[in-house]
Amino acid sequence: MSEPYRTALVTGGSRGIGAAITRQLAERGVRVACTYRTGRPEAAALAAEYGDSVLPVQYDLAQPNSARDVISTVLERWGRLDSLVLNAGVWRGGRLGTIDHGDWWSVLESNVGGTARLSREALPALQASDGGSVVLISSAVGLVGFAGDTAYAAAKSAMIGFARSLAKETGRDGIRVNVLAPGFVETDMTAAVGDRARRRITDDLILRRFGEPGEIAKAAVFLSEDATYCTGIVLTADGGWSL
């Protein structure tokens, strides 16, 4: 009797790093629900490419009811959830003295609150899995900080503390919880970085280049599917920027 296929939910799975994770999981035979907020065409294209292996689901991590809805959709489609990859996030930059107070707190609420809400909704299904896994996509900025990113750095740092605590809470249920902290990656977010700033950042990178989404996806898939004796760890994939 063949083993049942694994299923995964990848938030922000239609673009950039999330799309690369969706692709690599699907190519391994995992059924993947990839969420999108505004990227419906990209999500639909992934579904067309991978057929029944990819399910596009609309989701907004800032909306409390959205977490329950997306988990229900996955369970209605496949009846199980084995892996949760929390990749969706919100970024608003600005130094503490200039960023709007509401914007600052919205970054914390969306990233940290959204992570907690979806993790909580997913727990019963992950507990029922034989080898449940949660991977939080944090950031190297959450480890070392970055001028003009107090809100984002605070949120991404909080995600690490959340993940390590959740790992201790859920280990008895066989659920692994790990964190991936990417650095500067070629995505829509970093496309707006000016040439001067890009050169300055690149000079601080030991590997002297920005990462590619597929490289980060390899690390995320490793934590999700292969790192079966790892929990509560933070894996940094930043080209040496944080050293």
What is the token pair recorded at 22?
């969706």
Concerning whether 152 is annotated as a catalytic residue, the answer is yes
Which residues pair with residue 7 across a beta bridge?
Answer: 31
Q: Which of 138, 142, 214 is nearest to 180 (CA)?
A: 138
Residue type at position 171? G
- Helix segments in the chain, DSSP class H: 16-27, 40-50, 64-78, 101-108, 114-128, 141-144, 150-170, 188-191, 195-203, 213-221
Which residues pair with residue 182 across a beta bridge?
Answer: 237
Helix axes 150-170, 101-108, angle to 10 degrees: 20
Q: Are 115 and 86 in contact (CB under 8 A)?
A: yes
Q: Among the options 36, 50, 152, 229, which is catalytic? A: 152
Give CA–CA dist 229/131, Å, rounded. 11
Q: Which of 73, 72, 75, 70 is nearest to 86 (CA)?
A: 70
Residue 239 falls in which region: left (phi positive, over 0), alpha (psi -120 to 50) or beta: left
Which residues pair with residue 136 across a beta bridge?
Answer: 86, 179
* Active site amino acids: 152
